[in-house]
Copies of this chain bind each other. A is one copy, B any other.
Amino acid sequence: MSEPCNTYKLDDITTMPQRYRANFINSLSGFKSAALLGTTDGKSHNLAIVSSVVHVGANPPLLGMIMRPHTVQRDSLNNIKQQGVYTLNHVHTQWVDKAHQTSARYQPQESEFEKVGLTPWFSDNFNAPYVAESHIKIGLKVEQHFTLCNQTEMVIGAIKEVHLNKAMMSEDGYADIERAGSACISGLDSYHSTHRIAQFSYAKPDTPLTNK
């Protein structure tokens, strides 16, 4: 609690070297989900790691993500605009290296699936590639897409289907993503496994929390 604290003002941040600042600011948002974004242009299947997936709502079921149009994410974003559908697939601790390798700058016609050694899989009625190796696969259709104040783009997708082993689900609907081996990310390039500390009951004023 009384650990010595250093203060970084906006001026200190603005004058940091670009890559240093990117590492620093990307650490501040805390742990992030690790997902592979699957898209297609109809011929070539594209795979990109994303760490900006965020829960938007459960009813209707919506997930958001923030994309950078002038980076290696450009091809995925073009595919999403063209096809209107995409998949999100949890990255698991056993193959974080393959997931990270999708961030290399491959040519648009090259498939990251092939390049990194992951397997495209299609469900019956959904026109975007899933990652066969992922234990939690989500198919989404674009619901809202707009540009934020810094020219990044936010894509909100409506969940159309989910593929997972129902054995990982608790009685209350929680899917145990730790048991499924899902990884998380910090900063730009650090991958982590997790260890459950507690799962708490619904909090009420003046009532001690209980562990589920």
Is B194's CB under 8 angstroms from A175's CB? no
User: Which residues on the B side are within 8 Å of A158 (C-beta)?
Assistant: 10
Residues of B within 8 A of A197 (CB): 93, 96, 183, 191-193
- The answer, yes or no, to whether A109 is at the interface (CB within 8 Å) is no
A29: min CB distance to chain B, Å: 4
User: Using a CB-CB cutoff of 8 Å, which residues 160-182 of chain A contact chain B?
Assistant: 160-166, 169-170, 172-178, 182
Instruction: Assess the A173–B59 pair: CB atoms within 8 A.
Output: no
Chain A, interface size category, equals 35 or more
The contact string, 1 if C-beta is below 8 Å from chain B, for chain A 45-61, is 00000011111111111
Determine whether A81 belongs to the interface, using a CB cutoff of 8 Å to chain B: no
Which residues from chain B contact A169 at a C-beta distance below 8 Å?
Answer: 24
Q: Known: A30-B34, A58-B26. Is A10-B150 also a contact (CB below 8 A)?
A: no
Note all chain B residues with C-beta closer than 8 A to A200: 96-97, 100, 189, 191
Asked if A82 is at the interface of the complex by the 8 Å CB criterion, the answer is: no
Asked if A77 is an interface residue, CB under 8 A from chain B, the answer is no
Interchain CB contact under 8 A, B165 and A189:
no
Known: A8-B161, A32-B33, A54-B66. 19 other contacts (CB 8 A): A5-B163, A5-B165, A8-B164, A14-B59, A23-B174, A25-B59, A26-B58, A27-B177, A28-B162, A28-B175, A30-B53, A31-B184, A32-B54, A56-B152, A100-B198, A174-B186, A174-B190, A189-B201, A192-B195
* 19 contacting pairs across A/B (C-beta < 8 A): A1-B119, A3-B135, A7-B161, A7-B162, A8-B164, A24-B173, A24-B174, A28-B55, A28-B136, A28-B138, A28-B175, A29-B53, A30-B34, A30-B35, A62-B150, A104-B207, A115-B205, A144-B148, A178-B192
Residues of A bordering B, CB below 8 Å: 1, 3-10, 13-14, 16-35, 51-64, 66, 90, 93, 96-97, 100-106, 110, 115, 119, 123, 132-133, 135-138, 143-144, 148-150, 152, 154, 156, 158-166, 169-170, 172-178, 182-184, 186-205, 207, 209, 212
